[in-house]
Amino acid sequence: MKQERAYPKCTVTDKAARSLAAGHPWVYDTEVLRCEGAENGAIVDVVSAKGRYLGSGFVSYHSKIRVRVFSQNANDVFDAAFWRRRLQYAWDYRKTVLRPEDLACCRVIFGEADHFPGLTVDRFGPLLSVQVLSVGLERIKGLLLPLLADVLQADGQQIDGVFERNDVAIRGLEGLPQYKGWFALPGRSAPGSALADIVENGVRYTVDVENGQKTGFFLDQKYNRAAVARLAAGKRVLDCFTHTGSFALNAAKGGAEKVTAVDVSESAVAMARHNAAINGVAGRMECLAADVFELLPALAPHSYDFIILDPPAFTKSRKTLHSALRGYKEINYRAMKLLPRGGYLATCSCSHFAAEAEFTKMLRAAARDAGVQLRQIEARQQSPDHPILWGVPETNYLKFYLFQVV
């Protein structure tokens, strides 16, 4: 017998109704007319002022995003079977769009793009690294995470443990505490180590799921790294903001003559050295702890003929966009001045707020000031396990360009 729907109602403005109809899943606090007694984090049915059903989502009384809508089917009942179907759908999508060898290290759940608002799940071999950034998902993670492990294991994937990386300040916007640690999967004990060995593009990495940045490793650039490797043979490569050496390692494995991997973090550089050693390229890959903004002006022109710029997000809000674009322009200008004519530049931004039009305008200005022209080889985005959901611009964040400087 089918379960009856019995969810509290949240009545919203016409503006919110138009936004939901256009595909954006967020209802802001200023767009809510009234909510009928729903607990914080509970599922509510969102309705128009005239009572028309618009969708169902998680309500949050601490956040400016008051409701995160995840379904617009009035017949859906949000039981365990519903969530298992949705998890299966996300995994089937990855199996379709990724190479089979990439399924062992990929993003399994990408928040709103997979209709799991505020949930990120990355797979690193037998470990799942999880961030829960919304109170609604926090309430049901005890159901979701064992279901996800079951879905993967039913497909023959080995899952030994789930590690929560909820040590991020953004959880405070939802009234949630920060912490990290093993999630207890029913009937099994936690693994003894949060280190995972993975292979991406034929490159081996040791990923520190507990202490690495965000979930432990950046998976969104996997195919962009392969594009860099194709150009690297015989070149002197400078990889700026290397983190644990991913672009540098792809360049070295691609046959670069020499690679210098630079990051301001001593611990990241130490892991990059380790990764260089386990890939047998330590003799051609120097790992340097330095501030890129200080290093680039100090280098002699033409020291390198391929420069990679993969900085962290310089802005996480529109308020700081102008200063962020100044930072992007500075490093790109310096790189263009350093390169010889015919040299190569890979440059990117992982900030949603630095939109493509603004980023390319900055690149044009940097090239003009450096007195060079850019011959575009490729324009790329994030890998498809980080899908872009049209109607949700926040999911479209990574800009990646390969140029020859002429």
Is residue 286 within 8 Å of residue 238, measured between CB atoms?
no
Based on C-alpha coordinates, what's the Rg of the chain? 23
Closest CA to 366 of 352, 347, 382: 347
**Do residues 401 and 379 lie in contact, with contact meaning Cβ atoms separated by under 8 Å?**
yes
Name the H helices within 155-279: 222-231, 246-253, 266-278
- The string of DSSP codes covering 273-313 is HHHHHHTT-TTTEEEEE--HHHHHHHSPTTS-SEEEE----
Q: Hey, is 406 helix, strand or coil?
A: coil
Can you tell me the distance from the alpha carbon of 153 to that of 202, in angstroms, rounded to the nearest whole number? 24
- CB burial of 340-363 (b: ≥16 within 10 Å; e: otherwise) equals eeebbbbbbbbbbbbbeebbeebb
Q: How far apart are CA 76 and CA 84, in angstroms?
A: 13
Specify the 3-state DSSP secondary structure of 189: coil
Tell me the pairing of strands 195-200 and 203-208. antiparallel
Please indicate whether residue 105 is annotated as part of the active site.
Answer: no
Distance between CA atoms of residues 253 and 345, nearest Å: 18
Tell me the one-letter amino acid at 15: K
Q: Is 62 exposed, middle or buried (0-12, 13-18, 19+ CB in 10 A)?
A: middle
Burial of 13 (C-beta count, 10 Å sphere; 0-12/13-18/19+): middle
User: Of 105, 106, 287, 350, which residue is the catalytic one?
Assistant: 350
CA 227 – CA 378 distance, rounded (Å):
9
**What whole-number distance in Å separates Cα of residue 121 and Cα of residue 161?**
12
- 307/241 Cα distance (integer angstroms): 11
List the structure tokens of 213: 């940045």
Task: Give catalytic residues, as residue numbers.
Answer: 350
